[in-house]
Structure 1
Amino acid sequence: MLYRVIDETEAPALVAAFMERYEVVAPVKRGDKYVFSAVDSFDEIALDYPTTIASPKKYLLPAKETLFEFDAENNEVTDYTDEVRPRVLFGVHACDINGLQNLSSVFNDPRYPDPYYAAHAAATLIVGVACMPSANCFCNLMDAEEARAAYDLFLTNIGGRYLVSIGSVVAANVLEAACDVREATDEDRIAFRAATRARQEAFNRDIPDIQEIPMLMDAFHEDEFWEELGGRCLSCNACANVCPTCYCFDIRDTLDPGAATGRRERVWDACTSPQFAMVAGGHNFRPTPASRVRHRMYHKLNGFLAKHDRNLCVGCGRCVSACKVDISPIEVLKFFDRKGA
C-alpha cells in the first residue's frame, strides 16, 4: 500500500477536485444526527461524525431499482437503462467500507454477477476516513475496525495533517493534482501509530469480546434465550434498513395505469419480515419473531462467515440505536458471556 501525507487544510481542495468530475456524497449533519447526502461544498461535510443513521449502501444497492420494463399487450420486454452517475463516497468509516466489501462478495459472485450492482460499483470511488468509536460501536470485535482494501483513498488525521493510504491510480491522480502531497516521515508514522492506539483504547469495554462465536451459535441454537429475545421483536425491519450489510430483496411487478405496461423492480426486504420465509401454499418456514431474529443473528455471526471467511456483521452499532426493544448482536454477545461465566 502506498502512503502519502497532506495538510488538513487541503481537504477542501481535494473535495473540490473530485467535484469537477463526480457527484460527491458525504456525511452531513441533520439536526443532532448525521446522514450521507450529496454535497455542493466541503463546508457541508462533517468528517468528525460519530456515525450516520444509515450506511452508504443505498448508493450501490438502491432501496428500489427498476430491472426491466414490459409491455403485456405486445408481450415485449425491454432492458431498463439508467444513467449511473460517477460518484465519490467521501468520509466513509472503515466498518462501512468493510460492509460494502461484504456486499460485493455477494453481488460480484462470478457465478451470478449482478449487472446493476456492478454498474454502480464501477462508477463509484470510495474515500475513507478514520474515526473514533461511539458507545455502540463494536467493529473491533468483528475484525472490521480497519479497512485493508476496497477503497480508493483512506485518510487518517494525525494532528493537523492526514496520512493518506492510496488504493487506486484514479484517486491518486486526483490527490496529486489537488494537494501538496509529500512522503510520510518517521514523525508521521509515529503519529499514525498513536492515533491507531487511541482509537483502539476508545472502544466500549462493556461489550464482551467473545471467541468462537460460530461454535456458540450452534451450541445454543435451541436455547430459550431466542424466545425471550425474539419475543420483543416488532417486525419493523428498522435493523435491516440501517444495516450496511443486509442485502435481501424482493421482486415486484408495478403496473402503469391501464395495466398494459409496467416494470419489474427490486426492493429491499428483510428476514425479520413476517412474510419473508412464506412460500406457495401459505407455509412459513419461520413463522415466529423468535425464529426470525435467531435466523438474522445466525447469518450475521455464522452463516456468512462459513462461506466468505468473515462476519457479515461489521459492528457499526446502527441496529443498536435503531431497535426500540434492545435487540442487537451486542445482546447476543452478552448472552454468550453469561453462558461462559
Structure 2
Amino acid sequence: MLYRVIDSEELPSLVSAFMKDYEVVAPVKRDGSYVFDVIGSPDEIELSYETTISSPKKYLLPPDETLLAFDARANGVTDFAAQITPRVIFGAHACDINAINRLDLVFRDGRYPDPYYTARRDATLVVGLSCMPQSTCFCHLWDADEARFGYDLFLQDIGDKYLVSIGSVEAANILEASCKPREATDEERIAFRHVTRTRQQSFDHAIPDIQDVAMLMDAFHDDPFWEELGGGCLSCTACSAVCPTCFCFDIRDTFDPDGKTGRRERIWDACTSPQFALVAGGHNFRPTAARRVRHRMYHKLNGFLANHDRMLCVGCGRCVKACKAGINPIEVLKFFVRKGAEDAQ
C-alpha cells in the first residue's frame, strides 16, 4: 500500500477535482443529523460528522430499481438499461467501507454476479475518512474499525494534515493532479500511531467483547432469551432500513394503467417483516416477532460468517439508535455475558 501526506487545506481541491468527472456523494448535515447526499460544493461536506442515519449502500443497491420491462401483448421482455453515473462516495467511515466489501461478496464476487450492482460498483470510487467512535459504535469487535481494502483513497486525520492511503491508480492520479502529496516524515508516522491508539481507546468498553459469538449463537439458539428480546419487536423494519449490510430484497411486477405493459422491480425487504417468510398457502415459517429477530441476529452473527469468513454485522451502531424497542447485537452480547456468569456460579 502506498502512503502520502497532504495538508488539510488541499482537501477542497481534491473534492473539486473529483467533481469534474464524477457525481460526488458525501456526508452533509440535514435537520440536525448527517446523511450521505450529492454535493454541489466541497463546502457542503461535514468532515467531522457522526455516523449518518443511513449508509451509502443505496447508491450501489437502490431501495427500488427496475430490472426489466415487459409487454404482455407481444409476450416480450426488454432488459432495463440503467443509466450508470460515475460516482465518488467521499468520506465513508471504515465500517461503511467494510459493509460495501460484504455487499461485494454477495452481489459482485459470488458465483452469479448481479449485473445491476456490479455496474454501479465498477463505476464508483470510494474515499474513506477516519473517525472517532461514538457510544453506540462496536465495529472494533468485528474487525471492522479499519479498512484494509475496498477503497481508492483513505484519509487519516493527523491534525492539520491527512495521511492518505492510496488504493487505486485512478484515484492516485487525481490526488497527484489536485494536491501536492509527499512522503510521510517520521513525525507524521508517529502522529498517525498516536491517533490510531487514541481511537482504539475511545470505544465504549462497557460493550462486551465476546469470543466465539458464532458458536454461542448455536449453543443458545433455543434459549428463552429470544422471546424476551424479540417479543418487543414492533416489526417496523427500521433496523434493516438503516443497516449498511442488509441485502434482502423482494421482486414485484408493476403494471401500467393499460394492464398490458409494465416493469419488474427489485425492492428492499427485511427479514423482520411479518410477510417476509409468508409462503403460498398462507403458511408463515417465522410467525412471531421473536423468531424473526432471532433469525436476523443469527444471520448477522453466524450464518454469513460460515459462508464468507466474516460477520455480516460491522458494528456501526445504526440499529442501536433506530430500534425503539432496544433490540440490537449489543443486547445479544450482554446476554452471553449473563449466561457465562450463570455457568460460573
Normalised by the shorter chain, which TM-score bucket? over 0.9
Q: Deviations over 1:27-69 (max 9, x none)?
A: 0001211000000111100011110000000000000010000
- Displacement after TM superposition at 1:136 (Å): 0.2
Secondary structure of 2:335's counterpart equals: helix
Q: Partners in 2 of 1:223 and 1:16 — Cα distance?
A: 54
- What amino acid is aligned across from residue 300 of structure 1 in structure 2? K
- Indicate the residue corresponding to 2:271 in structure 1: 271
Q: Which residue of 2 aligns with 1:183?
A: 183
Deviations 1:49-102 (A, max 9, x none): 110000000000000010000001111101111211000000000000000000
Match of 1:238 in 2: 238
For residues 116-146 of structure 1, the C-alpha deviation after alignment (integer angstroms, 9 at most, x for no partner) is 0000001100000000000000000111000
Match of 1:211 in 2: 211
Taking the aligned partners of 2:220 and 2:251, their CA distance within structure 1 comes to 34
Identity level (%): 71
Aligned to 2:180, the other structure's residue is in SS state: coil
**Unaligned 5+ residue runs, structure 1?**
none
Tell me how far 1:109 sits from its aligned partner.
3.7
CA distance in 1 between partners of 2:21 and 2:237 (Å):
36
Cα RMSD (Å)? 0.6
Cα distance in 2 for residues equivalent to 1:73 and 1:193: 66
Deviation track 1:204-252 (CA, whole Å, cap 9, x = no partner) reads 1110100110111011111100001110000000000000000000000
Q: Secondary structure at the match of 2:241?
A: helix
Calculate the TM-score normalised by the size of structure 2: 0.98
Structure 2 SS opposite 1:26: strand
1:260 paired with 2:260, answer yes
- Structure 1 pair 129/98, CA: closer, same or farther in 2 (3 Å)? same
Question: How far does residue 269 in structure 1 lie from its aligned partner after superposition?
Answer: 0.2
Give the C-alpha shift of residue 260 in structure 1: 0.8
Q: How do residues 288-303 of structure 1 correspond to structure 2 at under 5 angstroms?
A: 288-303=288-303
Query: Amino acid of the residue matched to residue 168 of structure 1?
Result: S
Where has structure 1 moved over 2 Å in runs of 4 or more?
Answer: none
The size of the alignment, in residue pairs, is 341
Is 1:221 paired with 2:221?
Answer: yes
User: Which consecutive unaligned segments of at least 5 residues does structure 2 have?
Assistant: none
What is the distance in 2 between the residues matched to 1:57 and 1:274? 24
Question: What CA distance in whole angstroms lies between the structure 2 residues aligned with 1:317 and 1:195?
Answer: 22
Measured after TM superposition, the shift of residue 280 of structure 1 is 1.2
C-alpha distance in 1 between matches for 2:233 and 2:318: 16
* Whole-Å separation in 2 of the counterparts to 1:72 and 1:178: 53
How far residue 110 of structure 1 moved from its aligned partner, in angstroms, is 3.8
CA distance in structure 2 between the partners assigned to 1:208 and 1:287 by the alignment: 31
SS in structure 2 of the partner of residue 20 of structure 1: helix
For residues 260 and 126 of structure 2, the distance between their equivalents in structure 1, rounded to whole angstroms, comes to: 41
CA offset at residue 281 of structure 1? Answer: 1.2
Q: Trace 1:1-341 onto structure 2 (pairs within 5 A).
A: 1-341=1-341
The one-character-per-residue Cα deviations of 1:161-189 (angstroms, maximum 9, x if unpaired) are 00000000000000000001100111111
TM-score normalised per structure 1: 0.99
